[in-house]
Amino acid sequence: MTSCFVEESRGLLDEAEKALLALERLPDNPEYADVACRAMHSIKGNAGFFGYGDLEEVSRQAEMILDQIRNDEKTCEAVTISFLFIAIDALRDGIQQVSQGLTPEVPGKKELVDYLNSLSGGSAGDSQNEDCTREQTANLKLEKEQGQPTAAAPDQGFVAKESAGAKQADNRTGKHSLATQQQAIRVDLEKIDKLLDLVGELVISGAMVASTLTGQQLERMEKAVVQLDKITRGIQEVAMSMRMIPLNGTFRKMVRLVRDLAQKSNKKVVLEIFGEETEVDKTIIEQISDPLVHIIRNALDHGIESPEERKALGKPETGRVTIEAKHSAGEVWIVVKDDGRGLDPEKIMRKALERGLIKSEEKDFLKDEEVWKLIFEPGFSTAEKLSDISGRGVGMDVVKRNIEKLRGKVDIRSKVGAGTIFIVRIPLTLAIIEGMVVKVSNNRYTIPSNSIRESLQPKSDQITRTPDGLEVVSIRGELLPVVRLHEFYRIKPVYYQLTDGILIVIETDERKCCLFVDEVVGLQQIVIKGLSSYLGRVRSVSGCAILEDGDISIILDCDELINKVEQAG
């Protein structure tokens, strides 16, 4: 039962936090106070049922204040909102303790409860708390140095702007809409994983049955197999959709993070969110939050300038941070953009030279895209002095590593004085992809469809060999390097001449190359299987798949393949 309490309480706290952020923007709208009050009331009742005294007491005091605000008995002041955020953080800490099997204890509970009581007009347990000011907030020992900072009073402005769709809905209703209620049931994630595994096996079995009927005169059986395939794909889509959840919960956490960081660094920031309804696999949701926190912390601390500095540069005093999610070529792109200082390539290269990451003779030949990638080196930072929030580049190696674990990529675009854009590209799901199966000798390889641009059989006049021995093919005026897969994996092919085989043009990050293979087998739905750890690191391989005849197909990592070509060139 405690697991249900933890899950429900976390959802209620998220709901209360979202309502408080809205109430801070629109203090005259009692609807948000009502939502937060009801959430605190539910937490209070549940905590009392389980005997969690500290959680019950804190939530009761928060509920009293919110009840007064919604009934116009109390004005919604900045310091009141700040302490309500502190109460939410305290409750989160306590609920985390419950999830670990501990009896929850709220640090500084007496001081917090006394001050909340004084805010609601009650009698504080300690007379000293009557003179408590915003500067004493830090003394409550609730600040999370390794997570989100404690909310402070809004000395500087912060605004979270909603997406265009949400704004239109608000205009139609004449008020800010709250989260829509959906009919849902709770299902153990382990059960969904088992269902998805079974669907994957069903896909493989269906393909095996279909392959045995090829060329046979079994019309009725073939029709049955076609119908089975249709049903299987339908089940597969439903099973996958059960794991798909929108990014709005993750993005909502960033709203609180930006607000708190803006207060802590004395900056004015506008946060804009677009595409929060975009859905991705739950596993990805859980693992993408931490990289986003790193990126946004760096953007606010060392990207966005202070109001005075922005004014001197002719910029608006209020900085702008945008988070956008969208679908693109079978991937989900999460774009984080700021209009701050931007990355200074000269500064980055100077630091890279000091650390021996690049050689002095390479300095003048590096493209901007190559310079930006240097900030992903472990411990790399260009900050003149380190702050307690971040340093541009500090933790960015963790960002890159965590995103790559999801088979994703992160791109950077920046301009000095204009700002920086981080583009996080992640797959829709980690379970099933569509890929093209190709053959080299008796070995079969799978190329993800979203990396393929075209396939062709080249003519002799399209093929050129450079002085350093690199083979290139001219395709519509563009010279593309060739990777012979049989040489890359040291196997004997059927064809040695490029004109006899097939070239597959692949592209990642606007970089292209051609893969030389013997033949194309066809497009297939591929159930991704991870490689066993005892195999170690297999170069340019992201996993494997079981084909319809039971054989194994290696799934190629196109990004790493192109990197190998560029390094060889």
Q: What angle do CA 523, 525, 529 make, to 5 degrees?
A: 120
Token pair in block for residue 207: 């393909």
Q: At what angle do helices 219-243 and 189-212 cross, to 10 degrees?
A: 160
Q: What pLDDT does residue 378 have?
A: 75
> What's phi and psi for 363, nearest 5 deg?
-55, -45
pLDDT of residue 218: 63
Q: Is the dihedral of CA 75, 95, 133, 129 positive or negative?
A: positive
pLDDT single digits (tens) 51-107: 899 899 999 989 999 988 888 888 888 888 888 888 898 898 899 898 888 888 888
pLDDT value at position 504?
94
Per-residue confidence (pLDDT) for residue 327, from 0 to 100: 82
pLDDT in tens, 123-139: 444 433 333 433 344 34
Distance CA 312, CA 502 (A): 59
pLDDT at 183: 55
d(CA 269, CA 307): 9
Instruction: Tell whether the model's pLDDT for residue 2 goes beyond 90.
Output: no
What is d(CA 436, CA 443) in angstroms, rounded to the nearest whole number?
14
The DSSP annotation for 433-501 comes to EEEEEEEETTEEEEEEGGGEEEEE---GGGEEE-TTS-EEEEETTEEEEEEEHHHHTT---S--STTTS
The pLDDT tens digits for 142-162 are: 343 334 433 333 334 455 554
With beta carbons less than 8 A apart as the criterion, state whether 492 and 547 touch: no
327 DSSP β-pair partners:
332
- As a whole number of angstroms, the distance between CA 79 and CA 121 comes to 14
* 528 contacts 555 by C-beta, under 8 angstroms: yes
The pLDDT of residue 393: 43
Is 80 exceeded by the pLDDT of residue 486?
yes
pTM for the full predicted model? 0.65
CA distance 522 to 504: 12
- Per the model's pLDDT, the better-predicted residue between 353 and 209 turns out to be 353
Helices (H), 380-446: 396-405
Residue 118 has pLDDT above 60, yes or no: yes
CA separation for the pair 334, 324 (Å, rounded): 6
Backbone phi, then psi, for 541, in 5-degree steps?
Answer: -125, 130
Average pLDDT over residues 28-44: 89
**Which pLDDT belongs to residue 217?**
53
14, amino acid identity: D
Kind of pairing between the strands at 471-475 and 478-484: antiparallel
Gap between the Cα atoms of 290 and 293, Å rounded:
5
SS3 421: strand
Say whether pLDDT at 561 is over 70: yes
- Please give the DSSP secondary-structure letter assigned to residue 149: P
Give percent of the chain with pLDDT exceeding 70. 81
In terms of Cβ atoms closer than 10 Å to its own Cβ (0-12, 13-18, 19+), residue 436 is: buried
Task: Write down the pLDDT at residue 458.
Answer: 92
Longest dimension (CA), the chain: 92
Q: Which pLDDT value is given to residue 367?
A: 80
Q: What is the DSSP letter of 334?
A: E
Quote the CA–CA distance of 422 and 303 in Å, as a whole number.
12
Residues ≥6 apart with Cβ < 8 Å to 104: 52, 54, 55, 93, 94, 95, 97, 98
Highest mean pLDDT among 45-54, 108-117, 522-531: 45-54
Q: Tell me: pLDDT of 110 over 50.
A: yes
**CATH annotation of 189-243:** 1.10.287.560
Helix (H, G, I), strand (E, B) or coil at 49: helix
Q: How confident is residue 445, by pLDDT bands cut at 50, 70 and 90?
A: very high
* Confidence band for 214, pLDDT divided at 50, 70 and 90: low
pLDDT at site 72: 85
Residue range 416-437: average pLDDT?
83
Task: Let me know: does 483 contact 515? Beta carbons within 8 Å.
Answer: yes
CATH of the domain spanning 247-427 = 3.30.565.10
Res. 202: pLDDT tops 50: yes
- Of the two residues 175 and 298, the one the predictor is more confident about is 298
* CATH 2.40.50.180 domain residues, the chain: 432-568
- Provide the CATH topology of domain 432-568: OB fold (Dihydrolipoamide Acetyltransferase, E2P) (2.40.50)
Please, which pLDDT band fits residue 509 given cuts at 50, 70 and 90? low
Q: Which phi and psi (to 5°) does residue 386 adopt?
A: -80, 140
E-only strand ranges, 491-557: 502-508, 511-517, 519-527, 541-546, 552-556
Q: What one-letter code names the amino acid at 1?
A: M
pLDDT band, residue 320 (cuts 50/70/90): very high
Distance CA 66, CA 73 (A): 10
- Cα within 13 Å of Cα(540), Cβ side: 17
Q: What pLDDT, on the 0 to 100 scale, is given for residue 334?
A: 92
Taking alpha carbons only, the member of 321, 323, 272, 317 closest to residue 300 is 321
- Give the separation between CA 121 and CA 75, rounded to whole angstroms: 12
Say which residue, 496 or 148, is predicted with more confidence.
496
Answer yes or no: is pLDDT of 356 > 90. no
- Burial of 4 per CB tally in 10 Å (0-12, 13-18, 19+): exposed
What pLDDT, in 10s, does the model give residues 4-29?
Answer: 888 888 889 988 988 888 888 888 88
Given a cut of 90, whether residue 324 has pLDDT beyond it is: yes
> 170 or 252, which is more confident?
252
Indicate if the alpha-carbon torsion angle 49, 55, 56, 62 is positive or negative: negative
- Asked if the model's pLDDT at residue 388 lies above 60, the reply is no
Residue 529 DSSP code:
B
Query: Tell me, what's the pLDDT at 317?
Result: 92
Any idea how long the chain is? 569
Helix (H, G, I), strand (E, B) or coil at 67: helix
CATH superfamily of 2-140: HPT domain (1.20.120.160)
pLDDT of residue 137: 40
Q: Where are the alpha helices (DSSP H) in 26-162?
A: 30-50, 53-70, 78-99, 109-119
Strands 244-246 and 269-274: unpaired
Q: Do 65 and 119 form a contact (C-beta atoms < 8 A)?
A: yes
Q: Examine the pLDDT at 140 and tell me if it is beyond 80.
A: no
Whether the predicted pLDDT of 263 surpasses 80: yes
